[in-house]
Amino acid sequence: MDVRNGMGLRPLGTSAAEFEQDLLSNLYYRRGTTVESASTQDAYETLALTVRDRLAERRVRTAAAHYAANPRWVYYLSAEYLLGKQLEQNMLYSGTDRIARVAMKQLGLDPDEVEGLDIEPGLGNGGLGRLAACLLDAMATLDIPAVGYGIRYDLGIFKQAFKDGAQVEKPDDWTYQGNPWEFPAPDDQQTVFFYGHTERDENGRTQWIPGEIVLGEPSHMLVPGHGTDTVNIVRLWRARGSESSFDLSRFSAGQYAEAVDEAVHAENISKVLYPDDSTELGRELRLKQQYFLVSCSLRDIIRRFRLRNTDWAEFPKKTVIQLNDTHPTLAIPELMRLLVDEEGLGWDLAWALTKQTFAYTCHTLLPEALETWPVHMFERLLPRHLEIVYEINERFLAEVRDRFPGDVDRLRRMSIIQEEPERRVRMANLAVVGTQAVNGVAELHSQLLAETTLRDFADLWPTKFHNVTNGISPRRFIKLANPTLSSLITEGLGSDAWINDLDQLTGLERLTGDAAFREKWRAVKRANKVRLGLGDPDSLTDVMIKRFHEYKRQQLNLLHIITLYQRIKASPGRAYAPRTVLFAGKAAPAYHAAKHIIRLINAVAAVIDADPAVSPYLKVVFPPNYNVTLGSLIIPAADLSEQISLAGKEASGTGNMKLALNGALTIGTLDGANIEIRDRVGADNFFLFGLDTPAALELRHGGAYQPRAFYEQDEELRSALDAILDGKFLGVGREVAESLLGRDEYLTLADYRSYIDCQEQVEKAWADTEQWTTSSILNTARSGFFSADRTVRDYAAGIWHVSPVQVTR
């Protein structure tokens, strides 16, 4: 049996009867139980294994094809992955969704109940983590050899609940019942060093003598492509104490806590996503996580390289490592360390190889979001890396000095080390210096990066800067999330080829003239609202789903709600178009301003609910614990998509794409990918308001911005803010109003009037049902560009220079 060629595998059946047979054998032999005594959890795990086996078989063939081709690989390094539930995705991708359900019924199981036990791994925070998952999906679908690397956090992003309207955080023990989707590989374990000091050996090579050693144990999950046999993997690392970290003598002496102290300390590294960084220890833990991810992953990448290659000069030809934001930037000095200290390469060659290997994606424009680490902490934790960073910096600054002689200010700005007020390592500068390509995630973002945030670097290396507009997985965000709309589209287009070729959706444009099709389109949207079960399905469903952040401006939406409320109270006799405003999203646990906004939204919702004069027309709902699963229920039900960040602040947005693809019309500013969405769906099918980036910059930086002036001049705005200040909403939210009247960092009050007027346009447009439906169809029809497949093709052609490898039977 030649396993290497993927031969000798028993082909797994494609009929319901064969699936049923496999379910039974998995129940007996792998779950170790019987039909009579099986619990629903047993049934779920068995189902997952049976589905997984179909993909594992493809995985074996994929590995064989990749092994034979020895291609250039994409290694995607990301601190976050928001993968979403695995079961329904894997059933779809393995073509078992139908037969699995038949087989379960045959065995007397309720498929919905069994499938309901699948758990979403919450290994991410927001757009960045979901983007990583969408790109993995698209890479597999496009047959690009790729591995995603990340951390297997024991606890995912916290579970959000509300207590008296305020956010409370609960731990998310996502693997409490096990996780049938992962393959642990303890034999691929890596050793990670921390602390200690450096020494020179007799050959002049530097050695790092560590002060702490931790083990990284990997497990991988399968990342299947859709409509292809390729199955890639995402490999996640979990920290473990070494064998010697358990102190048997202490244990024997009854010192149980002390006996496991060291092991617990090690395991804390992969305990939680983004540990609280309000203490020095918490900050150090975050830096430790970053190095842990990087160290384990690079060793694994090198191990894989060595399976097929011997010559280091080949390394960048076979390897491209994409850094998803700055969190994995330590990979740059780490690769230098491995090449110079461990492999004995000269600095110049090692640096050339390193630079050619890496590429960096930036996801922000907020200067405060660009990570920096105190030099003293960096030095204590990673003494050798600091030496390497200094050396990189010295050589880099010499280059800058040559190009811009005498420009001391520029040197200060570009240095990887910030000197004032405290010495810190600037990770974004390191990421730009150590990579061959840097990209932003939407056109405006990439332009602003080169003109503002990273301007000095773009002056120095203009060709290094690229744009790759984000995209979303059409499989996850329409096919799986919105099965009824998907069926209607397939019916309208005559085939389902659009799922892997989203530009085909333009074929829907001609159907806008078909009244029966429009009717069906509306019926789907209505049914999706009924499925969601929040609010009146005939009301305008106005949706804002994203992380809570002041720049995203949930508070602006809230001011509109209060204004509507006050208008209805003031003129109760008028006919108002019923509207359901839906918020979902989490605030970072230590971000108090965002938490005040959450609390105020819940208070306003309660006051409106309790007011019979208003509640027939206006309802505010805020389901807790936004995640991929909840998003997938909300997105198909949305009529209106709120994308109302201050222009120049949102790098891209991807929720905006998901909502447009599902036929929601956007109300938005000229920010991030909104601009590209509007360009494509057409200005008539998009509600635009607010300051543009230059106007916002001028207002902010001119120093002349006075939010109070807007408050004084605008009666409705004043009355909305006064109502908050007067405690009309259960006495909460004064902090929100005070912050808006004080600094109003994100120019909410300046955009208020334009937003309110625009919402009136929305109401008028909503009254014309047929025209609204046409716009909705056009939003879907023209969103093909936002497929993550296009994004991955852009990366592959412009940055990675990789080609697909076909997996054959």
Catalog residues that contact ligand GFP under the rule CB under 6 A: 126-128, 131, 363-364, 441, 470, 547, 650-654, 672
- Of all helices (H) and strands (E), which one includes residue 74? strand 73-77
**Residue 653 vs 784, nearer CB to ligand GFP:** 653
Catalytic residue at 774?
no
Catalytic residue among 130, 464, 552, 586: 552
Catalytic residue at 658?
yes
Catalytic residue at 52?
no
Which residues, in sequence order, are CB contacts of 762 under 8 Å at separation 6+? Answer: 540, 640, 665, 667, 687
- Of all helices (H) and strands (E), which one includes residue 775? helix 769-781
**Residue 366 vs 515, nearer CB to ligand GFP:** 366
Nearest to 121 by CA among 70, 150, 76, 156: 156
Catalytic residue among 235, 384, 426, 547: 547
Report strand pairing: 212-224 vs 231-240: antiparallel
Compute the distance between CA of residue 414 and CA of residue 649 in angstroms, rounded to an integer: 22
Helix axes 788-795, 127-141, angle to 10 degrees: 80
**Residue 6 vs 126, nearer CB to ligand GFP:** 126
Q: Looking at residue 653, what DSSP letter applies?
A: -
- Of all helices (H) and strands (E), which one includes residue 183? strand 182-184
Nearest to 545 by CA among 652, 671, 442, 642: 642
Pair 656, 129: CB distance under 8 Å: no
State the minimum distance, in angstroms, from the CB of residue 233 to ligand GFP: 22
**Residue 128 vs 215, nearer CB to ligand GFP:** 128
Token pair of 162, please? 């509300």
**Residue 400 vs 448, nearer CB to ligand GFP:** 448
Pair 740, 748: CB distance under 8 Å: yes
Compute the distance between CA of residue 328 and CA of residue 577 in angstroms, rounded to an integer: 49
Catalytic residue among 62, 541, 654, 693: 654
Compute the distance between CA of residue 530 and CA of residue 527 in angstroms, rounded to an integer: 5
Catalytic residue at 479?
no
State the minimum distance, in angstroms, from the CB of residue 326 to ligand GFP: 12
**Residue 131 vs 762, nearer CB to ligand GFP:** 131
State the minimum distance, in angstroms, from the CB of residue 499 to ligand GFP: 22
Encode 205-247 in three state secondary structure: CEEEECCEEEEEEEEEEEEECCCCCCEEEEEEEEEECCHHHCC
Compute the distance between CA of residue 214 and CA of residue 271 in angstroms, rounded to an integer: 14
State the minimum distance, in angstroms, from the CB of residue 547 to ligand GFP: 5
State the minimum distance, in angstroms, from the CB of residue 764 to ligand GFP: 30
Catalytic residue among 152, 363, 549, 553: 363
Query: 73 phi and psi, to 5 degrees?
Result: -100, 150
State the minimum distance, in angstroms, from the CB of residue 646 to ligand GFP: 12
Catalytic residue at 105?
no
Catalytic residue among 299, 327, 337, 658: 658
State the minimum distance, in angstroms, from the CB of residue 192 to ligand GFP: 27
**Residue 436 vs 654, nearer CB to ligand GFP:** 654
Catalytic residue at 163?
no
Which residues, in sequence order, are CB contacts of 670 under 8 Å at separation 6+? Answer: 444, 647, 678, 688, 690, 692, 693
**Residue 274 vs 351, nearer CB to ligand GFP:** 274
Catalytic residue among 58, 546, 553, 680: 546
Q: How many CB atoms within 10 Å of residue 415?
A: 17
State the minimum distance, in angstroms, from the CB of residue 81 to ligand GFP: 13
Q: Annotated catalytic sites, by residue? A: 363, 546-547, 552, 654, 658
